[in-house]
Amino acid sequence: MKIKSFYLIVIPCVFIILAVVFAGEKIETNQYNGSDISFDYPQSWQIINGTSTPEIVVFTDPKSGSNLTVNKQAIPAGYTPPENFTLKSSAAEQSGFKFVSHSVVDLNGTEAHENVYQITQNGTSLKRTEIWAEKNGALYSIIFTSPTNSSESSKQLDVVAKSMSIKNSTTENTNIIGTLSLPTLGKTWNIHTETVNAYNDVYHSPSFYPGENGTVGIYGHHTKYSAPFDEIDQLKVGDQVIINDFITQKKYIYQVTSNGDIKWDYETNPVQFLAGNAELTLITCYPKGYSEAAYMTHTQLVGVEPL
């Protein structure tokens, strides 16, 4: 099946060579200038192609292997960022995504939250620093992954953070907040926040968001509008369901705990998305081709990874 193109925020930029004296050392820098964001970055860094998330720009340091991604994501209606933009969950820690510290920082007049995590990738322990700012109806994030205890990498991040400036601007809202994948069925769909009747999309209902302590509710048609959940009954206990979340810039891995829960009175007694457990419920109509009941697949969060 054809999948919609991912929505990238493209911002024209100009690069200017600068020199910054930092912590007693001279760091040669370039400058990134976009329509609403600008900052300095080490001249040794290389710009690389982005992936499938709403990136503004992505850099890598060939010497250390560090990576920095600057993102801008429109805030969906009704979304409230978690306290201090911090991820704290047992599933995250068990999968090697451990919270270390939080601090409030200033990005040239814009308040931001800096969170540090210890993560494990391919058996290697790394430091992941996230800097979050809310402005212009969007979430701006600086995601920096670097070797643990690297003083040079810390200085490089400081060059970016201390020069970061976010100007007033407008933000286009595509209503796409991520993707949902069913690996055993070979399917991936965009997650839409406005309607269930969009082709090639599933719908995030008014419920919790990934990373929050509650149940995420995702609806998809069984037979119409690209029929994203036409084979949902084939999911088995233990199968994975994956959400790539553009808002928090993380991958949430869920595991099917039960399938085939049928709710016949859904019109008078709607499906509830309760607080208290990090879960995901997939909902479609039942029987196939009819809307007499709600068919549900229940899953539980088992892991969190960098996006």
Give the per-residue pLDDT at 12.
Answer: 47
The alpha carbon of 300 is separated from its chain's Cα centroid by a whole number of angstroms, namely 18
Confidence of residue 122 (pLDDT cuts 50, 70, 90): confident
The share of the chain scoring above pLDDT 90, in percent, equals 77
The pLDDT tens digits for 148-192 are: 988 899 999 999 999 999 999 999 888 999 999 999 999 999 999
SS (H, E, C) 62-113: CCCCCEEEEEEEECCCCCCCCHHHCCCCHHHHHCCEEEEEEEEEEECCEEEE
Interatomic CA distance for residues 37 and 167, integer angstroms: 6
Task: Sheet with 37-42: list strands edge to edge.
Answer: 14-22, 25-33, 37-42, 165-166
pTM: 0.89
Q: What confidence tens digit (pLDDT) does each residue in 247-306 have?
A: 999 999 999 999 999 999 999 999 999 999 999 999 999 999 899 999 999 999 999 999
- State the architecture of 14-166 in CATH terms: 3-Layer(aba) Sandwich (3.40)
Instruction: Compute the average pLDDT of residues 74-89.
Output: 89
What pLDDT does residue 282 have?
Answer: 99
- Please choose, from the candidates 13, 33, 11, 36, the residue with its C-alpha nearest in 3D space to the C-alpha of residue 169: 36
Distance in angstroms (rounded) separating the CA atoms of residues 246 and 67:
18
Per-residue confidence (pLDDT) for residue 2, from 0 to 100: 36
Minimum mean pLDDT range among 14-18, 178-182, 202-206, 267-271: 14-18
What pLDDT, on a 0 to 100 scale, did the predictor assign at position 72? 94
Match domain 176-306 to its CATH number in 2.40.260.10, 3.30.530.20, 3.30.70.1230, 2.40.50.320: 2.40.260.10
Show me where the domains of the chain are located: 14-166, 176-306
